[in-house]
A and B are shown apart, each in its own frame.
Chain A
Amino acid sequence: MAVQTEALMTTTVTNRRPGPSRLAARAVAAAPLVAVLFLLPLKSDTFGHVAAYAAIFVMVGLSMNVLTGYTGQISLGHQAFVGLGALTAANVVSTGVTPADPFTFAIGMLTAAAAAGAAALLLGAVALRIRGLYLALVTLVFGSVFADAIFTLPSLNGHEAGVSAYRPTFISSEYRYYLFALAMVAICYYIDVRVRKSKVGRGLVALRDNELVAAAFGVDVLRYKLLGFTISGAMAGLAGGVFAFWSQEFSDKDFTAIAGFNLALTFVVVVVVGGLANRGGVMGAGAFFALVSPISPLLQWVADKTHWGTYYGNNKFYIANVIGAVLLLQTVILNPGGLGQVIRPFARWFAGHPFTLHDPDGDAGVGAMEGSSVRA
């Protein structure tokens, strides 16, 4: 009986074709989103610059989504992959004082992804038989040692002065570079979707939930863990490549010591606050944390309006961390589904379903947070 009523409920919810009035409602709701996404960056270079930074964080969010959300592995060293991508792109393209030519630029982006993917494969191999706290520790040490050892090599970091990375002329404006960054987001998004909709993502999620079950289903658990690390690392490396040409230089100081650690923590917070294994939520959280980061003028602008400007200016590094910590606690204690869970009713509405807070797919990804009881 219970099964039947449930079936009835799900059939009534699948009304996928909204009429004209509903379409209009959705268009009105989408308008502010489009304005924020495209008009603001077009009108203001500052905002275009920040929006491109947000796009980079969204890419890293997707990278973490594959590793932590799907594969269930934690990484406290992800800044190393982003940094390695940035270093590789900057050094491969090696612009000097002239803009990059588009072809070398493309090669730079590809090698950035490849180098970081290879580094992540290495970390994966180290991490294969380690779990939980120890895995977190290993990735933490890997990230900081890797960054400190490689990024500070004088021949790779421009002898401490930084390696310049001038954008190709066709994307040299802030707005155009932002559009380029969005295109790179689209690539990561596509890969994430393909992973999730194929045996790759199913294998990763299976091993995340229970390695024994995954193996019984024929998933090569070791190989798939490595695959999860590699895909994630390549995405992070691509994000790093975009970052190098966003800041127009590679500087080791962005990724080593406290700056690097701060990034690593933010990335983990993004994936948890966004919602484990929730693509949309993680992308939203990535953009959010880029916007409240110390380099973003957004909070400064708000603070100025409310006469807290000086206070914010003096404390913006701490404030970004406090926001992260508060949201992390809020998520873990009150809202394990994360931002993705919160926005799901709206996302479903946009996709053509009637608006409802009752959500038949509500507990998606929750398994990522729980252990499993099956034993061999």
Chain B
Amino acid sequence: MSVLEVRDLTIKFGGLTAIDGLNLRVDEWEIVGLMGPNGAGKTTAFNCITGFYKPTHGTVYYRDREVTKLPPHRKAALGIGRTFQNVGMVKSETALENLLTAQHTRAGYGSLQAIAGVSTVRQREKELTAHAEAILDLLGLADIRDRRIGALPYGTLKLLELGCALATDPDVLLLDEPSSGMGPEESDQLGERLLNLRQELGVTMLLIEHHVPLVTAVCDYVYVLNFGKLLAEGDPDHVRNHPEVVAAYLGGEAPDALAQTETPEDEPPADEIAPADAPVQRKSAARAPRKATGATKKAPAKKTPAKRAAARKEAS
């Protein structure tokens, strides 16, 4: 069963066809990359999947359930988490408050109870705060707990935003250029983090990313979009050597990315990105051949979909 599937997705803005017949699939525990030059329609695809845009045509399935027309907050509640290309957080709030806000659907009390101030609310608030702090610790952001986010550097914001997306308790996470604003070292770290997250929390991911080493390091499968159309798909090595992809990027504006694609000796082999003493976190270990049955895939340690569903029920 696929976690996320997009069939024949088309969206037009006036005369512009931003996405034209896109088909895309994300399976359980996969990290799938979505690449393409500027303006290719990647962010638009995210917006269609998460319900912010209404596709002109086509369908979106989440775990075999058609969700094309569900509004964004319902999809968030279902477990489709997302980040925004230019950082989507509540600007006037602190880091901690943002993480609390992101736990909206798992607050576990109703708005009337909140206003009456019954004791469940106070109890749950403590638990939500503890969870938010755990996420801050997980991302190494404990220092900025009480900082208003307006003044934080961009790379930190992107990381915190990832934390917020995690706080929504996602089953599948859509990340729009998570490494933007990060240096090469930070972005390597991010790669490890993403693999860890999958391992620890069992999150499936769809990732818009220009940074080729990161894509190579974490993605099991990559789709490349150009002018709204699917240009290529396959595993990262296949895709980055694909002549049409190379041509599309040459015509586009991503010479950096291309340079790294063309000179693999500049870039550490994927396996070195994960620490050697944590072999299970490596891509090769967690990754299974595409289109294999779920059984052959190494299951993440903690949270299985069944457990997730149970947890979700408990919370509501």
Q: Which residues of A contact B (CB under 8 A)?
A: 3-4, 6-7, 10, 190-191, 194-195, 197-200, 202-203, 205-206, 209-210, 212-221, 227, 231, 277, 360-361, 363-368, 370, 372-376
Tell me whether A217 and B86 are in contact (CB under 8 A). Answer: no
Tell me whether A205 and B114 are in contact (CB under 8 A). Answer: no
Tell me whether B90 and A198 are in contact (CB under 8 A). Answer: no
B78 CB to nearest chain A CB (Å): 9
Tell me whether A217 and B150 are in contact (CB under 8 A). Answer: no
Residue B239 CB within 8 A of the other chain: no
Tell me whether B114 and A213 are in contact (CB under 8 A). Answer: no
Residue B88 CB within 8 A of the other chain: yes
Task: Tell me how many residue pairs across A and B have CB atoms closer than 8 Å.
Answer: 135
Tell me whether A202 and B104 are in contact (CB under 8 A). Answer: yes
Tell me whether A206 and B101 are in contact (CB under 8 A). Answer: yes
Tell me whether A219 and B115 are in contact (CB under 8 A). Answer: no
Q: How far is it, in angstroms, between the C-alpha of A365 and the C-alpha of B90 when the chains are bound?
A: 11
Q: How far is it, in angstroms, between the C-alpha of A360 and the C-alpha of B145 when the chains are bound?
A: 13
Number of interface residues of B (CB under 8 A): 46
Q: How far is it, in angstroms, between the C-alpha of A376 and the C-alpha of B72 when the chains are bound?
A: 11
Tell me whether B73 and A218 are in contact (CB under 8 A). Answer: yes
Q: Give the chain A neighbours of B84 by CB distance below 8 A.
A: 212-213, 216, 374-376
- The 5 closest A-B CB pairs, nearest first, are A367-B92, A198-B114, A218-B105, A218-B76, A215-B72
Tell me whether B86 and A375 are in contact (CB under 8 A). Answer: yes
Tell me whether B92 and A215 are in contact (CB under 8 A). Answer: no
Residue B168 CB within 8 A of the other chain: yes
7 interchain pairs, CB-CB under 8 A: A194-B116, A199-B107, A200-B115, A205-B101, A213-B88, A216-B88, A218-B168
Q: Give the chain A neighbours of B53 by CB distance below 8 A.
A: 376
Residue B240 CB within 8 A of the other chain: no
Tell me whether A209 and B73 are in contact (CB under 8 A). Answer: no
Tell me whether A217 and B117 are in contact (CB under 8 A). Answer: no
A6-B143, A10-B146, A216-B84 are known contacts; what are 5 more A-B pairs with Cβ within 8 Å?
A200-B114, A213-B84, A215-B71, A366-B92, A376-B52
Q: How far is it, in angstroms, between the C-alpha of A206 and the C-alpha of B104 when the chains are bound?
A: 11
Tell me whether A216 and B76 are in contact (CB under 8 A). Answer: yes
A368 CB to nearest chain B CB (Å): 7
Which residue of chain B is the closest to A202 with respect to CB atoms? B101
Q: How far is it, in angstroms, between the C-alpha of A190 and the C-alpha of B118 when the chains are bound?
A: 12
| From A4, A191, A200, residue with most partner B Cβ within 10 Å | A200
Q: Which residues of B contact A (CB under 8 A)?
A: 47, 50-53, 71-73, 76-77, 81-82, 84, 86-93, 97, 100-105, 107, 109, 111, 114-117, 121, 125, 143-144, 146-148, 150, 164-165, 168
B51 CB to nearest chain A CB (Å): 8
Q: Give the chain B neighbours of A198 by CB distance below 8 A.
A: 107, 109, 111, 114-115, 121, 125
Tell me whether B50 and A218 are in contact (CB under 8 A). Answer: no
Contact residue among B52, B81, B115, B150 (Cβ-Cβ distance under 8 Å from A212):
B52
Q: Give the chain B neighbours of A217 by CB distance below 8 A.
A: 76, 101-102, 104, 164, 168
Which residue of chain B is the closest to A221 with respect to CB atoms? B73
Tell me whether A218 and B77 are in contact (CB under 8 A). Answer: yes
Tell me whether A220 and B143 are in contact (CB under 8 A). Answer: no
Tell me whether B125 and A197 are in contact (CB under 8 A). Answer: yes
Q: How far is it, in angstroms, between the C-alpha of A311 and the C-alpha of B150 when the chains are bound?
A: 49
Tell me whether A370 and B168 are in contact (CB under 8 A). Answer: no
Q: How far is it, in angstroms, between the C-alpha of A119 and the C-alpha of B165 when the chains are bound?
A: 36
Tell me whether B92 and A364 are in contact (CB under 8 A). Answer: yes
Q: Give the chain A neighbours of B150 by CB distance below 8 A.
A: 363, 367
A121 CB to nearest chain B CB (Å): 14
Given known contacts A3-B144, A363-B148, A366-B92, is B111 in contact with A373 (CB within 8 Å)?
Answer: no
Q: How far is it, in angstroms, between the C-alpha of A272 and the C-alpha of B69 when the chains are bound?
A: 39
Given known contacts A198-B125, A212-B84, A217-B101, is B92 in contact with A205 (CB within 8 Å)?
Answer: yes
Which residue of chain B is the closest to A2 with respect to CB atoms? B153
A235 CB to nearest chain B CB (Å): 11
Q: Give the chain A neighbours of B71 by CB distance below 8 A.
A: 215, 220
